[in-house]
Amino acid sequence: MAAFSVERIDEPRGLRLEGELDLATVADMEAALQDLVREGGVITLDVRGLRFMDSSAIQLLIRTVQGLDSRGRVVLDGPVHSVRRLIDVMGLNRIPNLEVRE
């Protein structure tokens, strides 16, 4: 069973997410995002090691970019195929201030 882990990274500034992000673990991510959102700027989410994401995580991402507004943006860096599939199906790449980087 893949647990979920989130850690702060500094170059680039943001978070590294690993494991599976779902309803059970999304609160941990929200907590980790708070300081970054308050600071503003570009927030990079290294998701190369994230093997699953669900719609509760998508909702958090949407809230995050709304909270950032013009003060910053989110970069999703290196989504695996299953996460990419969710992003495409939900049209997340149409949201301003959210960039998907392969």
**Which three-class secondary structure state does DSSP give residue 92?**
helix
Cβ 90 to another protein shortest distance, Å: 7
Indicate the DSSP class of residue 9.
E
Half-sphere exposure in the Cβ direction for 35 (13 Å, CA): 8
Residue number, 9 or 23, with CB nearest to another protein: 23
Q: Does 95 bind another protein (CB under 8 A)?
A: no
Q: Does 71 bind another protein (CB under 8 A)?
A: no
Cβ 6 to another protein shortest distance, Å: 15
> Is 44 exposed, middle or buried, given 0-12, 13-18 or 19+ CB atoms closer than 10 A?
buried
Q: Does 5 bind another protein (CB under 8 A)?
A: no
Could you tell me the two tokens for 74? 């989110």
Q: Which residues bind another protein (CB under 8 A)?
A: 1-2, 20, 22-24, 52, 54-56, 58-59, 62-63, 66, 81-82, 85-86, 89-90
